[in-house]
Structure 1
């Protein structure tokens, strides 16, 4: 800034010289005025020198000495101050790395689930049912992400019972219609069939889905390959799917299933909401000698001798089913009732299959039940105080009664269970559960025929990302 001061002095001297050239004898007033201008300019330049320590100005042309416009600085704009920050290439927010392209248009996130069970059954009249077993209930590996243009993908393989099977495997297009989220997918995905039936196994509050879910469903099971559409609002959703059988060898014709579901969560407040829903399906079965007898899990998948037999159906033509949902959430508690009927159509006559469940839960540690008012399915709880220095996780008490009745068929059985359990969530991605159930089964076919009852206790350790 010493140059600025020299410049100011030079301007003053030039003014004095010019004045002296024009007039041989400048007056005292003129000399005083010129000195004042030089002093003012020198003071202003000293002020600019102080400002330059905290900002980088763009030089501006000097106007007439003493003009304010001649000394107004402008800050330098750089790319760092105008461009939005690029997304992080790797995000660990959910516990596993999510890889992202520089512009965020492409992502990939691995999915991992490990579930291990210890189960014991006692009190049965059949010694073959009184088993203590350990089981790797499931090892699921896969990945999901998004593709530029509004597309997403999801693929998973499940290793259970020493066999590998494909679970979700689809590509979806996502867009907005009237402010609502529309998703159209092609491939294999889990049925949208009630609250429990439409929820992934690792986030259902119970260790196994209810007898109602196993009963009121198409013959192909929980998965089918086809097209599914979902329209989701803030407190409701509706879905429609047209699917064939699950992934198979391709040696026979597929059955075709048309399925739809909708739910509504009215009266939503910070304290909770009401849940209303319904779903149904119609399936056209391919010509088969019979429908294989369903073998429903009772209490624990680790005990294959403890199953409910649905009976056989000669010359089936198709089936149709209807289910209803009623429940809600209030603060840390929840309640849900689900029930329905399936009608199996055969050449001889139609057979009814009935089932329902009543379940409830309460987080004694204050968490909100993770039932989504948007999708009508369960999610993982958000643990308020994860296990660590000052936390101990979330604790949930759950209970359920469920029953299924196949007795309209002379070879079909019936059964029910009463269940009480505790779920401990050390973190959002881990879970330790201890569930006890009292069951009753009356089979008319199979190895264990007749009315029987007993108890099953199961402990599960699970981590899922």
Structure 2
């Protein structure tokens, strides 16, 4: 802008000098009129520059128009005509309309589904879709009713997310699974910068921020099911809770704190109250990888009149409801607390992670320990970088280097995991473990085909399938998610 002002002033002074040479004794009125004209042209320049910035016009066009007006105004003065009577050039109506017409709203297809944005970028909306189908078979159990082959629509999730002017955003999803409909994420958030970091405060229901696996959406996990460790150490209300959550995120770390009640319910009983926090730090970050360190913990206040229902944890496949690990029941609970630690990292196409911890259930009679941990690893045969975020400490979808097509065949990942859970501190609690080996094929960023095999052992102390048992489960999954 200073350059343009200098240009206008220079042109005006040049006109003044020309007039001075053309007329050896210019009158005071002519000089005063010319100065007034230059000031008016400077104001006009500022107006044109503002219009050019809003409509993306090239500054050179503005300069040309202003220079033309200055020269047209200076010419009559040089010829002895009063500058005060010089007419000012006016843009054609079509030019004004072109500069002031609002830009059309944009649609971005970069993620596979359309994201609509308003012309000023303040509003946006993007649909969310997930379809997951499983085929599972179990062999080798001592119980014939456990050796099942099942097909299952593991999940059909529909929803949307977007932004609202003022720093607000929203997210809502409904999930159709096991012949029932439930609400998953449903919250509104406020986002702003705080000391150069990203601060988010949300109200509503959202997934727990509890460890790498526990804080990752199911469709983005390297495995088909969350580990026994995640299911064992979670709060009584489950993976979701309604309340307030705050997150502060840097380039290589994050910290979160939430205060929530139960997940969306019918409102016929008192809610439990859970306070949960987590932090992680991605250290030694370089072009080839980083080291992940993290930890989390929670405290929950349980309603005294409640008897904690036995948890029936998924073992190997959700499609086989007869293959579960039972935690046993706990009468007269007072509260519970839990904690977990995370240690792992990424190096080129390889990743590894260890997670473990303890949950303590406090009852009127005594305290009961529940222990669990998992060791997991993976390697991209096609060279992709494992999508473990250094900002959030959770998994995302891999970015496929060569999507399926004329010149590509997608990404291929080999994964493995060992996980175990122990509820035997209670007389009715069981224990179990699994060894898993799997292959994930990602034809594109939004599609996935997986084949996983698990060798499991389960020892339940109560129920129809009580006693020590072991076997194998193979599962094939086809998924698309946006």
Q: Does 2:149 correspond to 1:126?
A: no
- C-alpha separation in 1, matches of 2:322 and 2:182: 22
- C-alpha separation in 2, matches of 1:289 and 1:314: 7
Unpaired stretches in structure 2, ≥5 consecutive residues: 1-63, 80-90
Give the alignment of 1:42-61 within 5 angstroms: 58=68, 60-61=71-72
Aligned residues: 402
The match for 1:246 among 235, 239, 263 is 263
- Matching residue of 2:82: none
The match for 1:408 among 410, 425, 432 is 425
Q: Is the 8 A contact 1:327 1:334 kept in 2?
A: yes
Q: Give 1:86 deviation, angstroms.
A: 4.3
- Matching residue of 1:202: 219
Unpaired stretches in structure 1, ≥5 consecutive residues: 1-54, 66-75
- Larger proportion of helix: 2
- Matching residue of 1:30: none
The match for 1:162 among 161, 179, 183 is 179
Give the alignment of 1:34-433 within 5 angstroms: 58=68, 60-61=71-72, 62=75, 86=103, 88-433=105-450
- C-alpha separation in 2, matches of 1:212 and 1:245: 21
Larger Rg: 1
Q: Give 1:288 deviation, angstroms.
A: 2.8
Q: Give 1:431 deviation, angstroms.
A: 0.4
- C-alpha separation in 2, matches of 1:424 and 1:80: 53
Q: Give 1:289 deviation, angstroms.
A: 4.2
Q: Give 1:287 deviation, angstroms.
A: 2.1
CA spacing shift, 1:156–1:329, aligned 2, 3 Å: same
Moved over 3 A (4+): 55-65, 76-88
- Matching residue of 2:459: 442
- C-alpha separation in 1, matches of 2:399 and 2:345: 18
SS, match of residue 419 in structure 2: strand
- C-alpha separation in 2, matches of 1:422 and 1:413: 30
- C-alpha separation in 1, matches of 2:96 and 2:223: 53
- C-alpha separation in 2, matches of 1:356 and 1:80: 66
Q: In the TM superposition, what whole-angstrom CA distance separates every residue of 1:112-170 from its partner, at most 9, and x where no partner exists?
A: 00000000000111000000000000000000001000000000000000000000000
Q: Give 1:103 deviation, angstroms.
A: 1.0
| TM-score (ref. length: structure 2) | 0.81
- C-alpha separation in 2, matches of 1:374 and 1:226: 23
Q: Give 1:90 deviation, angstroms.
A: 1.6
Q: Does 2:475 correspond to 1:458?
A: yes
CA spacing shift, 1:285–1:79, aligned 2, 3 Å: farther
Q: RMSD over aligned Cα, in angstroms? A: 2.0
Q: Give 1:97 deviation, angstroms.
A: 1.1
SS, match of residue 313 in structure 1: coil
Q: Is the 8 A contact 1:87 1:103 kept in 2?
A: no
SS, match of residue 215 in structure 1: helix
- C-alpha separation in 2, matches of 1:152 and 1:404: 38
Q: Give 1:100 deviation, angstroms.
A: 1.5
- C-alpha separation in 2, matches of 1:268 and 1:153: 32
| TM-score (ref. length: structure 1) | 0.83
Q: In the TM superposition, what whole-angstrom CA distance separates every residue of 1:25-45 from its partner, at most 9, and x where no partner exists?
A: xxxxxxxxxxxxxxxxxxxxx
Q: Is the 8 A contact 1:320 1:344 kept in 2?
A: yes
- C-alpha separation in 1, matches of 2:416 and 2:187: 34
- C-alpha separation in 2, matches of 1:220 and 1:380: 27
- C-alpha separation in 1, matches of 2:335 and 2:100: 60
SS, match of residue 368 in structure 1: coil
- C-alpha separation in 2, matches of 1:288 and 1:416: 32
Q: Is the 8 A contact 1:169 1:189 kept in 2?
A: yes
- C-alpha separation in 2, matches of 1:336 and 1:329: 9
SS, match of residue 267 in structure 1: strand
Q: Is the 8 A contact 2:102 2:119 kept in 1?
A: no
- C-alpha separation in 2, matches of 1:343 and 1:287: 16
